[in-house]
Structures are given as structure tokens and as C-alpha cells.
Amino acid sequence: MKRREFVHKTSMVAVGIGSLPVLSCTNDPTQKEQSSTSTTPTFTLPDLPYDFSALAPNIDARTMEIHHDKHHAGYVKKLNAALQDHPLAGKNLMDILASIKDQNADVGVRNNGGGHYNHSMFWKIMKPGGSAMSPELKTALMSTFNSKEAFEKAFAAAAKSRFGSGWAWLSVDQDKNLFISSTPNQDNPLMKQIVEKPGTPILGIDVWEHAYYLNYQNRRGDYIDNWNNIINWEQVSKNYTEAIS
Ligand code: MN
């Protein structure tokens, strides 16, 4: 078996075990630890943890298929190409994103590294029917936003007001406090030398038109509102626990 094939099959197994820790999985850029014996990083496309149609009607199957198989796959391919003979090659993706310095340098690594990280998180924090958050995260969310409804309102406002393509985030800052922000393109709060407020994202919504246009056309607000039905708060809670530890 070729190495690439092996990595792919390994990642499929890792995705298959769902909620179990996958710290050693080279295919999961949302984890801090990334084991690799090679100096040439080969990032791979993670499988969706559910069928393309699983999130319908909130997100339709065709959108999910194109989003995962074409858009995310493209980011992975271009990221690997951008890292060829690059000084950041061999680092894990979180460190790579933290290393990106300004608006013009490393545009291929920035856009495609961000794209790979963001989408890898995005698939995991959605689930058919959603799921419940941990008491720990609930306490933090209430203390920051007063109510879940107030959080949803503030988060939706950040997502709806992002001009053009980008993301809205719920993140943990260096003082372990929650905050909402939004970033353009494929930037994210891990790009600490670029973003207005750095942090560790635990929840993010993709508001690029490719994430919703087939079903919602110009109605980004409806997509954002319906997205609340499919948030995998259990996974977001795990992201929170990891971010504050
Ligand atoms: Mn996207």
C-alpha cells in the first residue's frame, strides 16, 4: 500500500470512530498534536462524519458534496503545493497559521491552510439534529452572553454582517474568555499576527456563498438562522475544553 493510500485509509478509520480522541491522526488539523515522521507535510481531506444528505433541509446534499469534495479538496491540494520547499513545511497546521505574518506574504499557505483548518472544524461541529453542550461550556456561555438566545443573536449578527466571503467565530481568548468575531476569506483567529483579535476557535460558520447558495441563493440570513438546528454542541464543548486546558 502506498503511503498516501495508507494515510487516507487510516483517516477513514479515525473519522469512523467519531467522538473518540484522534490526537495522533495526521489528518486532523484541528488537533494540537500532529504526528508525522516525514518532513514533507501531506495534508489529506478528512471524510465527512455523515452522509451528504444528513444535514438537509438545513444544508442540502448537493451543496455538501460540492463543498467537501471540490472546495475543501481544493484547499488541501493547494496547501500541499504551497508548502513544497516552504520554511513552514513539516509544522502542524495550527503552528503554520500562527506563523503567518502579514497581508501579502504566504498567500497560498494562508488561504489554503486556513481553508483546510476551517473546513475540517466545520464538518465536525455540525450534526443532524444537533447535540447538547456541556455544563462547563454552558456556564461560560451564560456568563459571557447572559443567555443562549443572546449568544445566537450576536453570533448571527457577526455572520450576517461579514461583507463578501468569510467566517464568523466563537473563540477562546488568551484569558480563557469566550468572544465572537468574524474574518474575511479563509482567515481565522489562530492567525494571531493578522486578525484583530486572536484566539482559539471552537465554533465557526462558513458564510461563503458556496456554503449555501444552491438552496438559499441570496438569503444568507435564513441559512445562518437554520444553522442553529445542526450545531454539534457536544463537539464544540470538546473544543472548548481543549482550548482552555
Ligand atoms: Mn467553504
CATH number at residue 67: 3.55.40.20
How remote is the CA of residue 216 from the centroid of ligand 1, in Å? 15
Of 80, 75, 78, nearest to 115 by C-alpha is 75
Residue written as grid cell 461550556: 137
Whether residue 128 lies inside any domain: the answer is yes
Least confident segment among 105-109, 199-203, 221-225? 105-109
Residue 126 near residue 230, CB atoms below 8 Å: yes
Task: Name the nearest CA neighbour of 198 among 189, 206, 187.
Answer: 189
What burial class does residue 213 get, using C-beta atoms within 10 Å of its C-beta: 0-12 exposed, 13-18 middle, 19+ buried?
middle
Report which of 200, 151, 159, 212 is spatially closest to residue 182, judged by C-alpha positions. Answer: 159
72 CA from centroid of ligand 1 (Å): 7
What is residue 31's predicted lDDT score, i.e. its pLDDT? 57
Please state the domain count of the chain.
1
- Residue 60 CA, ligand 1 centroid: distance in Å: 14
What pLDDT score does 217 carry?
92
Q: How far apart are CA 114 and CA 107, in angstroms?
A: 10
Cell numbers for 66, please give them: 460540492
Please report whether residue 95 resides in a domain.
yes
**And the C-alpha cell for 39?**
518532513
Cα–Cα dist 217/209, whole Å: 8
What's the CA-to-centroid distance between 96 and ligand 1, angstroms?
Answer: 20
Give the domain extent around 180. Answer: 60-245
Residue pLDDT, tens place only, 216-233 = 999 999 999 999 999 999
86 within domain boundaries: yes
Cα distance between residue 199 and residue 207, in whole Å: 20
Measure the CA–CA gap between 177 and 175, rounded to whole angstroms: 5
Compute the distance from residue 212 Cα to the ligand 1 centre, in Å. 9
Distance 132 CA to ligand 1 centre (A): 25
Domain presence at residue 184: yes
Does pLDDT of 100 surpass 80?
A: yes
Q: From the CA of 136, how far away is ligand 1's center (Å)?
A: 29
Look at residue 102 in the predicted model and tell me its pLDDT.
Answer: 72
- Residue-wise pLDDT for 63-81, tens only, equals 999 999 999 999 999 999 9
Would 55 be classed as within a structural domain?
no
- Cα–Cα distance measured from residue 161 to residue 32, given in angstroms and rounded to the nearest whole number: 30
Nearest in space to 133 (alpha carbons), one of 114, 161, 153, 152: 152
State which H helix or E strand residue 161 sits in: helix 148-161
The span from the CA of 232 to the CA of 130, in Å, is: 5
Q: Is residue 19 part of a domain?
A: no
The answer to whether residue 111 sits within a structural domain is: yes
Residue (of 113, 125, 110, 129) closest to 155 by Cα position: 125
How remote is the CA of residue 146 from the centroid of ligand 1, in Å? 30
The structure's pTM equals: 0.84
141-199 pLDDT, tens per residue?
A: 999 999 999 999 999 999 999 989 999 999 999 999 999 999 999 999 999 999 999 99
Task: Using DSSP, state whether 202 is helix, strand or coil.
Answer: strand
CA 71 to ligand 1 centroid distance, Å: 6
Give the Å distance between the CA of 21 and the centre of ligand 1.
25
In a domain, 36, yes or no: no
